[in-house]
Structure 1
Amino acid sequence: MRESLPEAVLTEPVPSLWERAACIVIIAMLTGALIGPVFAPLQEETPVLRLVWLPAYAAIFGMAAWRIDRIWRAWPAVLAILSVVGLAFASKYWSIDYEVTSRRIIALTISGVFALYLGAVFRGAHLPRLLMQSALILAVGSLIMIFAFPSIGVHQFDNAGLWRGLWYEKNQMGAVMVIGATASAACLASPDPRRLLPAIALGLSCLLVLATQSKTSLLCLIVGLSLVGGFWSLKRGGAAFSVGAIWVAVVLAGLAIWTWDTHSVAVLEALGKDPSLTGRTEIWDSLMRKVADRPWTGYGYGAFWGRAGESIPADWVRKETGWTVPSAHNGWIDLLVQLGWPGAVLVGILMVTTTLISVLRSMASGVREGWWALGFLGAFFVLSLSESILVQHQSLPWVLFLAVLTRAILPSPAEAAVPLVEKRGGAYQTGSRIAAQYPHGPVRRPPFAVR
């Protein structure tokens, strides 16, 4: 039985406290925080590291089974994820390391299950708020490591003096804090009146990004915050302001593309980067020559970057570039060497489709989540050009992309009104409790809402 409430007041049910706590722990593990430096200080897979993940895998399957009534509605997302996992599974038959590929496919599949759970259960503003809380905990933990245990929290040799917090590298902390900052900004842009924690999380996340001195992380931060702030401004500014803002954005984007196309070297030097992007262009040139050897199959999912002496093509790249290359430092090229052009095209289609649907859906429901999905997708794409984050097992950016995909194809909160009945554990809320969350009034649906 449903109460008669205005459509705009309807909201998604709040996940229970134990679910939120479990998800925060799993999210922290997906970032590689502390677990990697403690159990695998040499940055290699160890049996202990695999055992640490077993309780997390059990929790993921348990939570997915608990919420199967919501997950089954996301069957198009299930098919999309299965297409990626299926291609990775097929690649083990031509992989240069059958055992590694087989093992990492399992982790990739479980990551997909967790992404489905996050997207189906943490609807509306609940997911950005969960990410904000996770980032706040990780930011405080990083500050503790930086000041109390600088031998772990601060780079000692390469990049000496730069902060890395709970992670191996400063770039890892930068990427995680970008996700946290974008989620925090979305919480501030949403109708939720609870703004103290998001403001603190946003400040700490931005501080840690700046402390890494990572130009990629800084660019991702600017893109993510600009998209969230831009859509928030468009929503509040009226028609004239919206038209003017879109025109300015298009002009600035065109100017930026022209400047990069004609003066990229000068731009990089102004940013303190050498034209080779710290040797990245040499890696990319070498890798594309290896891609040309296996353009349609790649070398098998997760199999290319073996340890020295274990992967002939990787050793060839390392010999040609003159240093121990750990990854492609580009998500798309890394995808090409693993799954070939079919994998890159498939992921590209999923990314374009997810972005288009998210843009259309933002007209109707973006205000509820503070336009987090669009901010994250922008930062995710920029990050994929510099870091190997596409189709990665046990990777938070990839999991969140699949969660955004899941949320994009599910009905909006108003389209699939939840039962407004009190349920044990706080899973469902009554109309009075929902209205109490927004004391400044309901969020009004615009007349052009996408149905």
Structure 2
Amino acid sequence: MKHVLTVAGLLAFSIPYACQGLSPRVITISVLILLFSYTMLLPSLKSLIATLADNPLLTLLTLYIAASCLWAEQEQTSSLLMVLKFLAFSTFGLYLVTHYTTQGCIRLLVVTLSILSILNLLAVLLVPSFAIHGGVEHTGLWKGISGHKNTLGTLSLLSFVSHVIYFFRGKRKVLHIGFILLNALLLIECQSTTSLVLTSSLFVFILFILLFKRIRSIALRGFFISCSCLLVLLGLVLTFTYGDAIASEFGKTTTLTGRTEIWQGIGGAIQSHYWFGHGYGSYWAARPSIYANGIRFDLTSSHSGFRDLWIDVGLTGLLATITLAITTLFKFRIGKADMYTWLTAVVFFLFIVLNNITDSRFLNSLAIYWIIFMVIVIKVQERHKLAVAEKANSTALSTPPLH
């Protein structure tokens, strides 16, 4: 029953109609999940305190984001409700990491993403007027129950790459092939360029890691890494040299579909609250009009998770998040033990980092992205701490006693 309720909570944080906005429905769901998480955490208070103590920067960042309601510009009740939601999914993330192993957390995330893929397809087939974009913008493109084609793209991306990894694990291959094909269909039909590019990049990264792990010779590993780096460098050179031509072939421009103009337009909002931001969720809740190069944009995000962080909690919160991301990436170790679980974790984390450069998939979006970030940061720190302890013990045992 616990597993079912956990997946239900993850699903709620992955569907816009259950976790976005401040409607009575969303607040009720948030309160119920917060109570569930609190009830589950209460008996394991010692483990919770140890987890928070082992992750001081993440703990301080979480408290700082919650405290930003004190200087938020929007009405106080709305600010408090935003913080309530934030605490609900942060507490749920803490419940996950204290009650499940890394393998258990990843498995639950993959199950949730797989269910979402099925629900998105069913929505398109059964309720096309609801699940397919209509009107002027994105007409005919799939959005499923995710509310927008780009959101559908990112969730399908995560499901796709996780099933690719588990396919190579060698168990239930037919099942994984089915989900790979399903998510490929969703990615094609939503036509999210960012998701398609990221899917291709992460797929290549998965193949690189799996091939690298199979090579035993140190010399061959060096040659393999050198060739891979050269190919990446060549790709970057071609992109920077022929970027306009490549983008035009796909009906795009180097403004990233207007994103660079939006980023120019939010410069004033960042500068006016440079260090501490406007308060979590405050700036975009007012649905401001952004002007850049004579163009008006009516938005609910800047299409960049890192810039939204800057707007919400200032440079202080942004630098803390970037520091967490960098230190976590350096602590990753994809060893032989449960390689596929840790490969899935690193791919999910790379998605969070890369996608938030040109899209907003962090705090100012579905809560599932913040939960994934929290879970991986904490689990990587757990493993790093264990590795340091094992190394210290090994050194102590190998050191001869003094006479």
1:121 to 68, 76, 99: 99
1:179 to 158, 164, 173: 158
* Matched residue type, 1:388: S
Q: d(CA) in 1 for partners of 2:329 and 2:116? A: 28
Equivalent position of 1:382 in the other structure: 354
1:234 aligns with 2:212: yes
Equivalent position of 2:148 in the other structure: 169
Q: d(CA) in 1 for partners of 2:145 and 2:161? A: 20
Higher helix proportion: 2
CA pair 325-391 structure 1, distance change in 2 beyond 3 A: closer
1:75 to 32, 35, 52: 52
Offset, 1:288: 1.6
TM-score, length basis structure 2: 0.86
Q: d(CA) in 2 for partners of 1:109 and 1:69? A: 19
CA pair 71-248 structure 1, distance change in 2 beyond 3 A: farther
Q: d(CA) in 2 for partners of 1:184 and 1:200? A: 9
2:4 to 18, 21, 25: 21
Q: d(CA) in 2 for partners of 1:350 and 1:25? A: 28
In structure 2, stretches of 5+ residues that fail to align are 389-403
Contact 2:133–2:140, Cα closer than 8 Å, also in 1: yes
2:69 to 76, 79, 92: 92
Q: d(CA) in 2 for partners of 1:269 and 1:76? A: 50
* Matched residue type, 1:246: I
* Matched residue type, 2:237: W
Offset, 1:366: 5.5
Contact 2:157–2:195, Cα closer than 8 Å, also in 1: yes
Offset, 1:162: 1.0
Offset, 1:222: 1.9
Equivalent position of 2:392 in the other structure: none
Equivalent position of 1:265 in the other structure: 244
Q: d(CA) in 2 for partners of 1:25 and 1:378? A: 25
**Structure 1 residues 38-437: aligned runs within 5 Å:** 44-68=21-45, 70-76=47-53, 78-97=55-74, 99=76, 100-157=78-135, 158-190=137-169, 193-239=171-217, 240-308=219-287, 314-315=288-289, 317=291, 321-358=295-332, 361-363=333-335, 365=337, 367-369=339-341, 371-392=343-364, 395-411=367-383
Offset, 1:415: 6.9
* Matched residue type, 1:223: S
Offset, 1:153: 1.4
Q: d(CA) in 1 for partners of 2:281 and 2:122? A: 34
Offset, 1:139: 1.4
- Secondary structure of the residue aligned to 1:323 is strand
Q: What do the CA deviations read for 1:379-417 (whole angstroms, capped 9, x no partner)?
A: 22221012222334751112101100011011489979x
Equivalent position of 1:39 in the other structure: none
Count of residues paired in the alignment = 385
* Matched residue type, 2:42: A
Q: d(CA) in 1 for partners of 2:299 and 2:365? A: 19
Contact 1:132–1:201, Cα closer than 8 Å, also in 2: no
CA pair 319-267 structure 1, distance change in 2 beyond 3 A: closer
Q: d(CA) in 2 for partners of 1:223 and 1:267? A: 16
* Matched residue type, 2:381: I
Structure showing greater relative contact order (alpha-carbon pairs closer than 8 Å, 6 or more residues apart): 1
CA pair 271-67 structure 1, distance change in 2 beyond 3 A: farther
Contact 1:128–1:187, Cα closer than 8 Å, also in 2: no
* Matched residue type, 1:374: V
* Matched residue type, 1:55: L
Q: What do the CA deviations read for 1:279-330 (whole angstroms, capped 9, x no partner)?
A: 211110011232122211221111001245xxxxx34559964131221000
Offset, 1:236: 1.7
Offset, 1:71: 4.0
Q: d(CA) in 2 for partners of 1:413 and 1:229? A: 28
* Matched residue type, 2:111: Q
Offset, 1:78: 4.5
CA RMSD in angstroms comes to: 2.7
CA pair 150-413 structure 1, distance change in 2 beyond 3 A: farther
Q: What do the CA deviations read for 1:396-445 (whole angstroms, capped 9, x no partner)?
A: 112101100011011489979xxxxxxxxxxxxxxxxxxxxxxxxxxxxx
Equivalent position of 2:396 in the other structure: none
Q: d(CA) in 1 for partners of 2:86 and 2:334? A: 29
Q: What do the CA deviations read for 1:79-137 (whole angstroms, capped 9, x no partner)?
A: 23321123223433332125233322232223222223333433243333222222222
CA pair 79-112 structure 1, distance change in 2 beyond 3 A: farther
Q: d(CA) in 2 for partners of 1:280 and 1:363? A: 38
Offset, 1:167: 1.8
Q: d(CA) in 2 for partners of 1:77 and 1:302? A: 28
Q: d(CA) in 1 for partners of 2:199 and 2:244? A: 22
* Matched residue type, 2:129: S
- Secondary structure of the residue aligned to 1:93 is helix
